[in-house]
Structure 1
């Protein structure tokens, strides 16, 4: 378990806060395990009927802790990150994201599986996988083009474009934007409204809206195989080394 994931429940709304501000809320494997367990517990109990994910401070999350990933040799059959992404994908109850600042990498891709996404005015959205010598994850290579169109998805995934909060709304990644100091209270009210709604109606409506998930599951498997291979590649090692040495990567 880790102190960097804070969980609390009030009035049937569970709040998960990514709380590692000194590292821009970068997520380690231990943090992924804690996040996965929190979502799994939420989905199987009646203690809460809405679940809000946010970040501490002025950052949602900078994505994966690359140093943690580059040194992981646990050999888990299902690594914690995979467990977390499966939990987000398969959760039958409403998941809400309050994006309080930059959402990078998995900070963006997890949003594609959330049911309600709201952002602070200062929030930005990016997925620099190619820059890091990696490939998209969480079925983002399928879901992002479906959400924003192929041209914009390629601009994000291949060219490294970062979206502003207003752009994210215009492209359909975010439902609404709030002033930075209003986001938390606004999303809490939305969470309370969702939690007070008929639970089975929410569950079945979510099933209908999401539709058949077979293609998404297969895409996640295909991405994961390539992602793991790239983690062991010279490209990824060079990208991490360049980041540590504060220089531009040089790829062979």
Structure 2
């Protein structure tokens, strides 16, 4: 299997596993990842999804030969299903990047909530060099993250960048040694899975909601805050908090 999906308790682990082809993603692999993310979104028992590649490479991006044979022709194509699934997933997504993350290997990270990277990780978006244009809403999200000029440097000039630069941009959350990447991802996933689930879901929803004015966002947060105060989940969390203080 070129995409391995394992669910252990509240954590679904997705691993791109095609090292002989530098983890290049085929149409079938996009379908498998979309299936997994859609399953995670629909399953209340799954709280966190992790996505990783191999130690030597995260992914070389699209398998271009496979893509030429099955060119995207509509919204139901597996690549578009995958992009909708990862961008709209209500569960927390943690990515672990070791080695190169090329093309969609970089742009998919814009839709992850937390990204861990090994020191030797590298990032490259060679769309223009291949006569293509950016995807995964990267033309919108990258300028917001790093500024228009830096985004142009990487999307138009196609210059690569390293893990330290990705951390500076805010694309990466933390740099972790490659041999500890899986362990750190799992520890972070378990930590999130132990938190009140609806509070986590709503916080992710707020973080990924469309832009609004400060006043609009304060109002939205306020209404959700009031609902939370009346919830059984919050009552249980507060009781546990006060019990620890005794």
- Structure 1 partner of 2:129: 131
- Is this contact kept in 2: 1:11–1:192, CA < 8 A? no
- Which residue in the other structure is 1:141 paired with? 139
Q: After the TM superposition, which segments of 4 or more aligned residues of structure 1 sit over 6 Å from their partners?
A: none
Output the CA distance in 2 between the equivalents of 1:100 and 1:157: 21
* 1:150 equivalent in structure 2: 148
Q: How does 1:96-175 map to 2 (within 5 A)?
A: 96-175=94-173
Question: With structure 1 as the length reference, what TM-score do the two structures score?
Answer: 0.81
Per the TM alignment, residue 155 of structure 1 is displaced from its structure 2 partner at its CA by 0.5
Q: Which residue of 2 aligns with 1:184?
A: 182
C-alpha separation in 1, matches of 2:67 and 2:112: 24
* 8 A Cα contact 1:101 1:122, kept in partner: yes
Q: 1:245 corresponds to which residue? A: none
1:69-97 residue CA offsets vs partner (Å, 9 max, x unmatched)? 11116855511000000001111111110
The 5-angstrom pairing of residues 191-202 of structure 1 reads 191-202=189-200
User: Which structure's CA Rg is the greater one?
Assistant: 2
SS in 2 for 1:181: helix
Equivalent residue pairs, number = 212
Q: Deviation at 1:56?
A: 2.2
Instruction: Give the Cα–Cα distance (whole angstroms) in 2 for the partners of residues 39 and 101 of structure 1.
Output: 23
Q: Which runs of 5+ in 2 are unaligned?
A: 213-246
2:23 matched residue in structure 1:
25
Describe the shift of the 1:135–1:179 C-alpha distance in structure 2 as closer, same or farther (beyond 3 A).
same
With normalisation by structure 2, the TM-score equals 0.83
SS in 1 for 2:33: helix
Q: 1:56 to 1:167 in 2, by over 3 A?
A: same
